[in-house]
Amino acid sequence: MAENGFVLWGAADLKDFSTPRDETGEGFDLALSWAFPMNPRIMADIRNGPNQDYADEYSRVNHQLNSISTALAAEFKQRGYRSLALAASSRTDTVNIKGDFPHKTAATRAGIGWVGRHCQLITRPFGPWVRLGTVFVDIELPCGPSLERNFCGDCRRCVDACPASALTGTAWYPGIPREAILDVMACDQWKKENYFQFHKGHNCGICSAVCPFGLKTLYCSSKHKKPPGSWNRQP
């Protein structure tokens, strides 16, 4: 992880969760999780809606995450362990609009961040301006400690900014159902009706763009102090 420039990563204990199964039909008790920072200037520019720069950055980072996940899973297998890479932004359940496993669940269990009122992971160094990677593995590693609370306080900027009114404003805690925080159908419909030109309506990002934890990252970069894990570093 150090060789690839990652400073925000950890192992997650997933013994209490149902995880994807590999070719042997077995699930996993543990996963590696990491956060890859997005370009803060691009993220700040989508406070009024997504644009092509954001769509391009989204694709670029997802491609890097998938490449690293695949390589890491292969490295584990070469060393004799079972492993499985979780694809970035892959909808395998189109009815319920979700993938095989939530990246942010592994991330909170690894202690990387908490889930904000916008139903996205928030990290201390980069706010929510990150994309997440996950690789399931059966190697024994020290995990967590997991984050069990949110640090959003009374802030509701993401809730007020959501053009689809899809955010309930409910604060996250471990185990809370997604629908208690986000009306995923309303979110998805708005994106498809208004931003279809960006990955067929899979991109918006307004709620993330207005988050104070993310805007703090922009201030840091404007002072020529790039945060750890510089966004332009190639893994």
| 149 is a domain residue | yes
In the structure encoding, which two tokens stand for residue 227, read together?
């945060």
pLDDT reading at 174 higher than 50? yes
What is the tens place of the pLDDT at every residue in 150-172?
A: 999 999 999 999 999 999 999 99
pLDDT at residue 229, rounded to an integer:
40
**Cα–Cα distance measured from residue 226 to residue 217, given in angstroms and rounded to the nearest whole number:** 8
Q: Indicate yes or no: pTM above 0.95.
A: no
Query: By residue range, what is the domain housing residue 46?
Result: 9-222
Q: Which of 60-69, 80-89, 226-235 is predicted least confidently?
A: 226-235
What is the C-alpha separation between 97 and 119, in angstroms, rounded? Answer: 14
Whether residue 143 contacts residue 137, with contact meaning beta carbons closer than 8 Å, is answered with: no
Q: Looking at the domain assignment, is residue 18 inside a domain?
A: yes
Percentage with pLDDT > 90 across the chain = 85
Strand partners, 134: 33, 86
Would you say residue 65 has pLDDT above 50?
Answer: yes
For the chain, the distance separating the N- and C-terminal CA atoms, rounded to the nearest angstrom, is 9
pLDDT at 230 > cutoff 50:
no
Residue 2 has pLDDT above 90, yes or no: no
Report residue 223's pLDDT band, with 50, 70 and 90 as the boundaries: low
pLDDT in tens, 10-35: 999 999 999 999 999 999 999 999 99
Q: Is residue 227 part of a domain?
A: no
d(CA 19, CA 134): 12
pLDDT the model gives residue 100: 95
HEC secondary structure over 82-103: CEEEECCCCCCECCCCECCCCH
Q: Which amino acid is at 20?
A: P
Residue 15 lies in a domain: yes
Structure tokens at 50: 């997504």
Asked if the structure places residue 230 within a domain, the reply is: no
Q: Among all chains, which residue has been given the structure tokens 């690789």?
A: 135
pLDDT tens profile 44-60: 999 999 999 999 999 99
Does some domain include residue 2? Answer: no
Is residue 228's pLDDT more than 70?
no
Least confident of 20-29, 74-83, 87-96, 110-119: 87-96
Tell whether 235 is covered by a domain: no
Question: Token match 């890491």: residue?
Answer: 72
Residue 3 placed within a domain? no
Query: Do the Cβ atoms of 76 and 135 come closer than 8 Å?
Result: yes
pLDDT digits (tens, 9 = 90+) for 110-128: 999 999 999 999 999 999 9
Confidence label for 227 from pLDDT (cuts 50, 70 and 90): very low
Tell me: pLDDT of 233 over 80: no
User: pLDDT class for 217, splitting at 50, 70, 90?
Assistant: confident
Report how many domains make up the chain: 1
* pLDDT tens profile 176-204: 999 999 999 999 999 999 999 999 999 99
